Structure 1
Amino acid sequence: MNILILGANGFIGSVVAARLLRDGHRVTGLGRQPERARLRQPQIDWVKADLAKMADPKDWLTLLDKQDVVVNCAGALQDGLADDVSAAQQGAMIALYAAAKSAGTALIVQISARTEGAGSDRPFLATKRNADQALKESGIPHVILRPALVIGRNAHGGTALLRSLAALPFALPLAHAGNPVETVFVDDVAAAVAAAIDGEILPGADIGLAESRPTTLADLVLQHRSWLGLPPVPVIALPSAIAKPISWLADMAGRLGWRSPLRSTAMAIMSEGVVGDRGERQIWSRRLTTVAEAFAANPSGVQDLWFARLYLLKPLLICGLSLFWLLSGLVPLIDLGAASSHFLPLMTEFPARMLTIATCLLDIALGATVLFRPCARRALLGMVVVSLVYIVGGTAVEPKLWLDPLGPLVKVLPSILLTFAALAILEER
């Protein structure tokens, strides 16, 4: 069959795509940034598109031409600089259903979620609920799958956060530590999609996907810690109130384009625990993989430990670099005369002051720009270039600065290395 997968370069979508390719289907993948995915999975026909801008059925007609099945693996946790939840999860889906009906699409498989309980009023779950209802009312043959917390060999979002928490030294401070968490292995989600396409799951089914043995958040983090090869440490149960300031900071980061799994939507859902939809679990008879079985079949490597330890350091690196460059631009302005004196051997006082102001503004601009996710890579590269220029210029103008006890030039070298480290871990998927 010809199958169109929405979000095919995502955590779930990439595994679903790989499974359907192995089953012999021809897969077209839709994603906002499929460039690297095209290199990783060249067997897929990639299409670049933004769901948030596909609110008209006409936007879908060309994509649906000759497609037998549509699998929706796309989603957005919360509105932010890079995401419009309502447009992507509801408006685009309703337009898709209208286009699919006229195109004669044989089946739509929707990866949804449990939309009741804590957080159900949030746009993430409300738009999924509305889109699911619209799909049911559309008359198009469909299967809705509602996985609980998805665990996989790779990690993204909530699963990445679990790994990073598991790698903390000395102790594991957790809010909602005792809350229940149900999981499903990502390969089982892909198998359910394949079963729906093959007719093993009949159209009209609405199935919750979760292994039969729920655990707690604390136990799940400890299982991840064991998988990473780290010794057990005590769990410190934090009061749930501590989640509010953390989620507020994460929401602010989201407005700048950073997709933190600690945003308020995730925290609201976690306040009750992550449990799968218990509706029609028995329709599909497959026994789902447990976390222990998934980890046993996919032993960790050193790269997993590096990722876990670096994940929570990433926002600290970005914020640290931002603060460093902002202060390096603001502090010289306090005593402009002293700061511009380094240029006096080359020019008179007025141009020296103007050059000092210009470099200060450049530093401030880089420090502020790196906080905006779409501009972060260019800002980091700019920091490297400007730092090298400062080293060369400082050496030419006043080489004795290398011997200064405070090391104004020496300190530029580790800042460059820190910038390269931020560049190395900047990508989100």
Structure 2
Amino acid sequence: MKVAVTGAAGFVGTNLVNRLIADGHDVIAIDRVSPDHALQHPQVTWTSADIFDRDALAAAFDGVDTVYHLVAMITLKQKDETAWRVNTEGVASTARAALAAGVRRFVHCSSIHSFDQYTDSGVVDETSARSEDPELPVYDRSKWAGEQELRKVIADGLDAVICNPTGVYGPVDHGLSRINGMLRDAAQGKVPCFVEGTFDLVDVRDVARGLTLAAEKGRTGENYLIGGADVRLFDAMRTVAELCGRFRPLFAVPLSLLKVVVPIAEPISQLFGSDLVSRASIAALVAQPTVDITKARTELGYQPRPTEETLAELVAFLCDSHQMGSAKPKSGRHFESILPSLA
């Protein structure tokens, strides 16, 4: 089968292309650039295209059965015009091009952030409130708005389904993503302490599998939360440090203390062009909702892998890809014997 992936050079895109090749598909890999790590394979054709160029996209989609739309701009900023345009108009443009090309199925990779995670119930599922509050970060609001743009195209005849991954981590990642970058630093013994907080984290390879399951079994117009397990980030960092025999974080900083520091630290962070220290990032830590993936399990047959497997294989990948400096996994040790219960 011939399929297309937008944002194919990215974190999720790289793993999805690998998954599609393993499943025997011919892949049109679409991105603005073909990076050094771009997979060169007989089943993969790399194409440079802008998601706002509908004609170019429609041409790339010619003869394609399924389009996976992954392009997104992730940020913790409150406002960002580029992120808003990419995450909303970009979805509409790509979906319209797919409809014009006669694509059978369109799979949109949205995010858990399109759901309002700051719910009093403490649980997020596909029926939860959406990210409409103007006080929410631009990424949250734009991902929900992007889904609304897609629904307009569905109403015009596009057969599309929406997947909403939680916090994505794990191999393969040539980037690194924010989460993987923090875990790499911890594995190198560079994280003496970390902020308290628990997130639902999902292996990027499970996200890729969830997307293909949605293409095969998902119902038109439906959302599917693609999650993994609740992971206390402090424990995960201690685990990867232990796997490499490095200095482990000593303590977790209470959120109450962090709230006092943020009003001072956020402006300084912005001066250096960073959005890591922000009200949005702290709010996400405070919320810590439980993500219910029952719908994906029952309708798609989706099953995430154990957290300890992802952490061990991430460390192995980082070492194999020379992203760890001199840090190496301990040899002759069973990972399971030193991994805490994180899930």
Secondary structure in structure 2 of the residue aligned to 1:214: strand
Q: Describe the superposition over 1:309-350 as per-residue Cα deviations: whole angstroms up to 9, x where unpaired.
A: 79xxxxxxxxxxxxxxxxxxxxxxxxxxxxxxxxxxxxxxxx
User: What is the match of residue 304 of structure 2?
Assistant: 288
Partners of 1:60 and 1:302 in 2: CA distance: 34
**Which residue among 246, 255, 276 is the counterpart of 1:262?**
276
**Which residue among 204, 209, 232 is the counterpart of 1:186?**
204
Find out whether 1:159 has 2:179 as its counterpart: yes
TM-score normalised according to structure 2 size:
0.74
**Residue 8 of structure 1, CA deviation:** 0.5
Gaps of 5+ in 2: 119-129, 327-343
Q: Does the 8 Å contact 1:180/1:275 carry over to 2?
A: no
Shift of the 91–164 alpha-carbon distance from structure 1 to 2, 3 Å rule, reads same
Secondary structure in structure 1 of the residue aligned to 2:213: helix
Secondary structure in structure 1 of the residue aligned to 2:46: strand
Q: Does the 8 Å contact 2:69/2:108 carry over to 1?
A: yes
Q: Does the 8 Å contact 2:110/2:164 carry over to 1?
A: yes
Structure 1 letter corresponding to 2:63: K
Find out whether 1:134 has 2:149 as its counterpart: yes
**Residue 203 of structure 1, CA deviation:** 3.3
Find out whether 1:13 has 2:13 as its counterpart: yes
Partners of 1:278 and 1:302 in 2: CA distance: 29
Secondary structure in structure 2 of the residue aligned to 1:161: helix
Q: Describe the superposition over 1:263-304 as per-residue Cα deviations: whole angstroms up to 9, x where unpaired.
A: 645454344237646573432333211210223456527737
Q: Does the 8 Å contact 1:184/1:290 carry over to 2?
A: no
**Residue 11 of structure 1, CA deviation:** 0.8
Structure 2 letter corresponding to 1:144: I
Q: Percent identity?
A: 20
Q: Does the 8 Å contact 1:184/1:210 carry over to 2?
A: yes
Secondary structure in structure 1 of the residue aligned to 2:242: helix
1:387-406 counterparts in 2 under 5 A?
none
**Which residue among 168, 174, 181 is the counterpart of 1:150?**
168
Partners of 1:97 and 1:170 in 2: CA distance: 43
1:17-416 counterparts in 2 under 5 A?
17-38=17-38, 43-51=43-51, 54=52, 57-78=54-75, 84-114=82-112, 115=114, 116-118=116-118, 120=131, 121-139=136-154, 140-155=158-173, 156-167=176-187, 169=189, 172-175=192-195, 177=196, 179-197=197-215, 199-211=216-228, 213-230=229-246, 232-237=248-253, 239-241=257-259, 242-243=261-262, 245-254=264-273, 262=276, 264=278, 265-273=280-288, 276=291, 280-282=295-297, 283-296=299-312, 300=316, 303=319, 307=323
Secondary structure in structure 2 of the residue aligned to 1:109: strand
Q: Does the 8 Å contact 2:171/2:205 carry over to 1?
A: no
User: What is the match of residue 2 of structure 2?
Assistant: 2
Secondary structure in structure 2 of the residue aligned to 1:128: helix
Q: Describe the superposition over 1:142-167 as per-residue Cα deviations: whole angstroms up to 9, x where unpaired.
A: 22111111121244222233214424
**Residue 216 of structure 1, CA deviation:** 1.8
Partners of 1:100 and 1:72 in 2: CA distance: 10
**Residue 20 of structure 1, CA deviation:** 0.4
Q: Which has the larger radius of gyration?
A: 1
Structure 1 letter corresponding to 2:201: T
> Which structure's relative contact order is higher, taking Cα pairs within 8 Å and 6+ residues apart?
2
TM-score normalised according to structure 1 size:
0.60
* CA RMSD, 1 decimal: 3.3
Q: Does the 8 Å contact 1:208/1:277 carry over to 2?
A: yes
Q: How many residues align?
A: 297
Partners of 2:263 and 2:184 in 1: CA distance: 20
User: What is the match of residue 416 of structure 1?
Assistant: none
Secondary structure in structure 2 of the residue aligned to 1:160: helix
Structure 1 letter corresponding to 2:236: L
Gaps of 5+ in 1: 255-259, 311-429
**Residue 170 of structure 1, CA deviation:** 8.1
Q: Does the 8 Å contact 2:110/2:143 carry over to 1?
A: yes
